[in-house]
Amino acid sequence: MTSPIRLDKRVAAQLQCSRSQAQQYIEGGSISVDGEVVETPQTMVDAAQTVTLSADSSADTAEAATLLLNKPAGCSGQDLFALLTEANRFADDASGIRMLRRHFQRLDYLMPLDDAASGLVVLTQDWRVRRHLQESGASLEQEFVVEVSGEPSPWAMPKLTHGLVYEGRSLPPAKVSWQSEQRLRFAIKDVRLGQMATMCSLVGLKAEQIRRLRIGRVGLSKMPEGQWRYLPANQRF
C-alpha cells in the first residue's frame, strides 16, 4: 500500500512542475482533491484520491488582497478578524475576486477605529495599500456621522470646524454640519484614536455613537454591519 504524500509533491509530479509552482497552483485555488478545492500544500493525499487542475488555472502568485469591513461597535482584536468568513461576505461584492483561504492570512489593520466606534475599516496584505495609507493616510478625508447628546456651546460649530486641540496637536480644518438634532456629520482628515469623542466633549456634547462612512474615495456603500468585501484592483483611496 502506497503511503500518503503531501499534495504539493503529488501535484509537482503529476504536472511535471517545480514544488514552488505546485504550491502556487494550490494556494491559488486551482487544485481539487476528489472534486473539492484544497488550498493547503501540506495536505496529505493517497494514490486512490483524484487530484485535478482547474481549466482556468495559473501558477502566478495570487494577488495580495485588501478587505473592507463594516466593523460593529464594540468589536476589536481577534473578534474583528473572526468576522472574515464566507458567510459574512457582502452579497453585492462587485470585485469579481475569488475567495481564497490565503486572503485571510497576515492582514494588517490600517487606519483603525476606536473599539466603541463602527463603520469602515481596512485590512490588507498588499504592501502598496499599506504604504499608501501609512504615508498618505493623514491627507485622506474621512467621513463620520456622530450621534450626540447634550447642549452644544454657542461656539460649538466654529470650534468643531477649526480651533480645537487634541493631545497637544492643533486639529486641521474640518467640514461639520448638523444632519438632525442629534446627528453631526464630519468630513475630516488625520483622525486619531479617541479624537472624535473628545472633539464633541470639548464643545459640550457627548458622542453616543460614532460611525465612519468613508476613507478617501472608498465608502461603505450599502454594506451591512459585520460584513466585508474585497477592494477591487481598480479602486483607489
* Domain layout of the chain by residue ranges: 5-53, 66-137+218-230, 141-215
Residue 179 confidence class, pLDDT cut points 50, 70, 90:
very high
At 205-216, the pLDDT tens digits run: 999 999 999 999
Q: Give domain 5-53's CATH superfamily.
A: RNA-binding S4 domain (3.10.290.10)
Residue 103 half-sphere exposure, CB side, CA atoms within 13 Å? 20
Which residues, at least 6 apart from 196, have a Cβ–Cβ distance to it below 8 Å?
114, 117, 144, 146, 186, 207, 210
Please write the tens of the pLDDT for every residue from 56-106.
Answer: 666 555 678 999 999 999 998 889 999 999 999 999 999 988 888 888 888
The better pLDDT of the pair 204, 77 is held by 204
pLDDT of residue 23: 77
35 pLDDT higher than 80: no
Alpha helix (H) residue ranges in 17-56? 19-27
Alpha-carbon separation of residue 192 from 11, 144, 151, 209, 229 (angstroms): 49, 13, 25, 16, 25
The span from the CA of 164 to the CA of 168, in Å, is 10
Look at domain 141-215 and name its CATH class.
Answer: alpha beta
DSSP 87: G
Percent of the chain clearing pLDDT 90 (strictly above)? 62
7 pLDDT band (50/70/90 cuts)? Answer: confident
CATH number given to 66-137+218-230 = 3.30.70.580
Tell me, yes or no, if the two domains 66-137+218-230 and 141-215 fold the same way: yes
Strand-strand pairing, 228-230 and 66-71: antiparallel
